[in-house]
Amino acid sequence: MDWARYFQLSLSDLLGLVSRRTVILLVMAIFIYQGVGIFYKALALQLIRMRPAPAVEIKAQAAAVAAREPADVYLVIPERNLFGTTTNTVTDKQTPAAPQQDIALLFDVRGTVAGEGKYGFAVIEEKGTRKQRLVKAGDVVAAAKVIRIKRNAVDFLVEGQERTLKMAEMKEAPILPPAQAMTASTGPPPQAGTFVLNRSELQEAMADMGSMLSQAQIRPYFNAGVPDGFIVTSIRPGSLYQKMGIVNGDIIQEVDNRKIRTADDVSGLLNTLKSSSDISMVVKRGGNPKTMNYQFR
């Protein structure tokens, strides 16, 4: 037996076997290495996805979502009154408002001076106390707004509706009566000088301004579209106007050097009559100014 040849063949076979195993192990190592790399990459990607977003990004996303939602989404909150508030959103739970008391049950119209805006005024009387007050357009009385002063009537605005309060049994008379009527009601012509009047009689007349307005017709007077006082007509015999020497057609223009143009001026005139012991009054009569002086005793 050729031992040298045998050992030579065995060594060749051994080397071939080792080479094949090495290649196999090398290939396995490469696959294992690649597999581990892929595993770690997948794990890192999953961890990145699971990481929480920054607070700023979350707030920005929440704000964007909130901004996109329509306002109608939140109407359910007031409709259902979820928080127990006192708002009256639910119509079936609203309590109806108490009806406004009729203005005619509270006041009487005692006299009017018809005029637009600040030139007209009226005297109304409270039924319970009999207290009188002078009102003009824009004044508010017992939650009712005065919107218009008419002849023998006052228009009020009550809860969005117009109500007219009329004087009781007021006889209509022309603003400028005929010449015969003027002569008959004028009485004796006023004397020159100063008129002396009884203060108690004046105070009695001033206590009932409505009665004073019923003793004559008083209207704002305009000259060429400009207010120029108040014209007095239809003076009743024995009235305070006649005792003061005023005749039909007189236009009261000034009292104590104060122009008489508006309702506020008339209110000032009434206060002057109540407090002063003497006054001077300028009237226009027949187109000419005339000064009349009064003393109250």
Q: How many residues does the chain have?
A: 297
Residue-level pLDDT at 180: 40
Residue 171 lies in a domain: no
Q: Are residues 115 and 197 in the same domain?
A: no
* Structure token digits, residue 40: 């770690």
How many CB atoms are located within 10 Å of the residue 151 CB? 17
Whichever domain contains 138, its CATH number is 2.30.30.830
Cβ(154)–Cβ(138) below 8 Å:
no
Please write the tens of the pLDDT for every residue from 24-78. 877 787 878 777 777 777 777 666 666 655 555 555 555 554 555 566 656 555 5
The overall pTM is greater than 0.75: no
Residue-level pLDDT at 13: 64
For the chain, how many structural domains are there in total? 3
Residue 249 lies in a domain: yes
The model's confidence at residue 178, banded by pLDDT at 50, 70 and 90, is: very low
- Residue 125, CA distances (Å) to 167, 199, 237, 271 in order: 11, 23, 25, 18
Which of 67, 93, 119 is where one domain is finished?
A: 93
Q: Are residues 87 and 112 in the same domain?
A: no
Whichever domain contains 203, its CATH number is 2.30.42.10
Please write the tens of the pLDDT for every residue from 82-91. 555 544 444 4
Residue 283 lies in a domain: yes
Q: Are residues 189 and 227 in the same domain?
A: yes
Residue-level pLDDT at 41: 75
Residue 172 lies in a domain: no
Is the pLDDT at 139 greater than 50? The verdict is: yes
The model's confidence at residue 248, banded by pLDDT at 50, 70 and 90, is: very high
Please write the tens of the pLDDT for every residue from 109-129. 888 888 887 888 888 888 888
Which residues on neighbouring strands pair with residue 234, listed in sequence order? none
In the predicted model, what is the mean pLDDT of the chain?
A: 74
Which of 35, 61, 93 is where one domain is finished?
A: 93
Long-range contacts of 160-168 (CB under 8 A, 24+ apart): 163/103, 163/104, 165/103, 165/104, 165/107, 165/108, 165/109, 165/124, 166/109, 167/108, 167/109, 167/110, 167/111, 167/112, 168/108
Residue 124 lies in a domain: yes
Which of 93, 127, 156 is where one domain is finished?
A: 93
Cβ(295)–Cβ(196) below 8 Å:
yes
Residue 173 lies in a domain: no
Range of the domain at 257: 179-296
- Residue 6, CA distances (Å) to 11, 14, 16, 17, 98 in order: 9, 12, 15, 16, 129
Residue-level pLDDT at 293: 92
Residue-level pLDDT at 185: 39
Please write the tens of the pLDDT for every residue from 185-244. 344 444 445 888 888 888 887 778 788 888 888 888 988 888 889 999 999 998 888 888
Residue 98 lies in a domain: no
